[in-house]
Amino acid sequence: MDAKSLKKHLANITVGGRLGEHHGSTDVTALQGLNLELKAGDRLGLIGHNGSGKTTLLRALSGAYEPDEGQVEVRGRIAALLDLGLGIDSTATGYDNIRLRGRISGMSSKEIDERMDEIAEFTGLGPFLAMPVKTYSAGMQARMAFAAATAVECDVLLMDEWIAVGDADFQKLAHKRLLKLVEHAGILVLASHDTELLRRYCNKVMRLEGGVASPVTDIRKMDELLAA
Amino acid sequence: METATHMLRTGRRGPLFEFQMAMRDLRNSVERLGLAWSLAWHDIVSRYRGSILGPFWITLSMGLMVLGIGFLYSRLLNIPLAELMPYVALGIVFFGVINGVVNEGCETFVNAAGILSQTSLPMFTFVWRTVLRNLINLGHHVVIVVAVLLWFGTWQQADPALALVGLLFLVLNVSWMSMLAGIASARFRDIPQIVQSVMQFAFFMTPVFWQASKFGDKHVFLTVNPFFHMLEAVRAPLLGAPVDALSYTVLSVMALAGWAVTFSIFAVTRRRIVHYL
């Protein structure tokens, strides 16, 4: 093992997926040999270092990334709450942004219109929804984005970190709404570094390290999994 | 819910499979044309928010260009205004569509990076978004076409139905160019600059504001210019002139060949495009 490959080896065990040379260019294998089956009622927590492949797995589950080998199959409607800022146009009004986000996450215009009152009420922004989003404070913007993103009905919910937005009051409301969404969805996959959080919301856990996954373990055995 | 209730993503399973997956992407995008339309409409509204004239600003500047070039060249080349002005007007408006779709095609996927990296929306949706956005713009610029045709009385000989057929040919061709530019630009960030230069060059080399007949319609220089045929197919019917059968042949062959190449490239690169972004 020369110095370069040692460095590469070290890099592999700390952060990131596996780096490989391919026709002179470097490619990253973010996930490898992952086997996973989830059924309704499963709440899976993903834990691992930065770059261990948690987000890549979530994106693969959302259908955005296609695996180079093997297959990903999801039965049911998927909602990926990976980025609340998705599709936000700061010059558009709150209403327009809610509509846009709804369209992107797969709702029809009619469905959005039907749910608009409920979404608008939840944001608590009242007349501000008719104003451009750029006039909002960061907290208000987060409220709007959260309400729009969580308006979907889904069977599989993917989340990169538990979402907590807004002031104390809103956080409570948001928490309730998120829990309802999780309950409604059969399956939750939640990536987080926070073990307490995973203990609270998940019943299963999987550890990722350098793109290689541990077996899916009961959440009560998380400490053993992390010690391993 | 329009969201696919069954999603399957697999590793490579040979060229035929990749081709089928690309077809599925196309089919899904057609089923969701409403989404592409919403996105395109949002783009327009968003781009011109706060502006009083909105997209009509472009119409206005196009109109000025038409007037300027029309007057200038009718004197320089000694062509009656009533002949050159409608010709120039149609040329500039419809070349604007070609130019817009191809140039903005470079940003189709780059701008959709956020959406593409966390949803399973079809990639073709974003191609249609670019095309539809430019057709909405055209809807505004039609004002120029109507005004000029009415003013110079050309409308009496116009054949709008045939012009629509021509527009269909134009869109069929320009959309594969747009998609090809989109894929290439996602991978190589030099492409937009190249495309821009090529389109500017094409604007001067194509009979947009100078008459093809003065140059010789059958000259090989024009025959090999794809933009000439696209323009002719829309412009000639509106001016009451016949469209050369050669133009339809070139447009058909180019649409088939262009889509075959573009679609094949898409089938091969489809699963990689999101990683280019």
Q: Decide if B3 is inside a domain.
A: no
Note the pLDDT of residue B2.
Answer: 40
Q: Do B6 and A74 touch (CB under 8 A)?
A: yes
Residue of A nearest to B9 (CA): A72
pLDDT, mean of residues B26-49: 90
Note the pLDDT of residue B69.
Answer: 93
Helix B226-238 to helix B160-187 angle, to the nearest 10 degrees? 150
Residue of B nearest to A89 (CA): B46
Rounded Cα distance between B119 and A59, Å, is: 8
Q: What percent of chain B has pLDDT above 70?
A: 99
Note the pLDDT of residue B146.
Answer: 92
Rounded (to 5) percent helix, strand, coil in chain A: 45, 20, 35
pLDDT, mean of residues B83-105: 94
ipTM of the assembly? Answer: 0.80
Q: Are A72 and A64 in contact (CB under 8 A)?
A: no
Q: Do B118 and A83 touch (CB under 8 A)?
A: yes
Over 90: is that where the pLDDT of B263 sits?
yes
Chain A interface, best mutation among B120, B129, B275, by max A CB count within 10 A: B120
Residue B84 carries which side chain, given as an amino acid letter? L
Q: Decide if B19 is inside a domain.
A: yes
Owning domain of residue B233? 15-40+54-276
Q: Decide if B46 is inside a domain.
A: no
Residue of A nearest to B126 (CA): A104
Residues of chain B in contact with residue A74, where contact means CB-CB under 8 angstroms, are 6-8
Q: Do A80 and B119 touch (CB under 8 A)?
A: yes
Greatest mean pLDDT among A207-216, B55-64, B173-182, B221-230? B173-182
Note the pLDDT of residue A21.
Answer: 66
Bridge partners for A75 per DSSP: B6
Rounded Cα distance between B83 and B218, Å, is: 20
A89 near B CB under 8 A:
yes
B49 near A CB under 8 A:
yes
Domains of chain A from N-terminus onward? 38-66+153-167+174-228 (3.40.50.300), 88-152 (no CATH)
Extract the tokens encoding A177. Answer: 């709404």
pLDDT, mean of residues B198-204: 94
Count structural domains, chain B.
1
Helix B56-76 to helix B124-151 angle, to the nearest 10 degrees? 50
Instruction: Tell me the nearest-neighbour CA distance from B24 into chain A, angstroms.
Output: 14
For B202-230, write each residue's pLDDT tens digit.
Answer: 999 999 988 888 887 778 888 889 999 99
> Of A210, A214, A211, nearest to A228 (Cα)?
A214
For A40-64, write each residue's pLDDT tens digit.
Answer: 888 898 888 888 888 888 998 888 8
Extract the tokens encoding A8. Answer: 């590469």
Residues of chain B in contact with residue A64, where contact means CB-CB under 8 angstroms, are 116-120, 274
Q: Residue B1: pLDDT band by 50, 70, 90 thresholds?
A: very low
Greater pLDDT, B78 or A21: B78
Q: Are B43 and B129 in contact (CB under 8 A)?
A: yes
Note the pLDDT of residue B26.
Answer: 94
Rounded Cα distance between B271 and B8, Å, is: 13
Mean pLDDT of chain B: 90
Q: Decide if B135 is inside a domain.
A: yes
pLDDT, mean of residues B232-260: 93
Over 90: is that where the pLDDT of B164 sits?
yes
Q: Residue A8: pLDDT band by 50, 70, 90 thresholds?
A: low
Over 80: is that where the pLDDT of B4 sits?
no
Q: Decide if B48 is inside a domain.
A: no
Q: Decide if B109 is inside a domain.
A: yes
Q: Decide if B133 is inside a domain.
A: yes
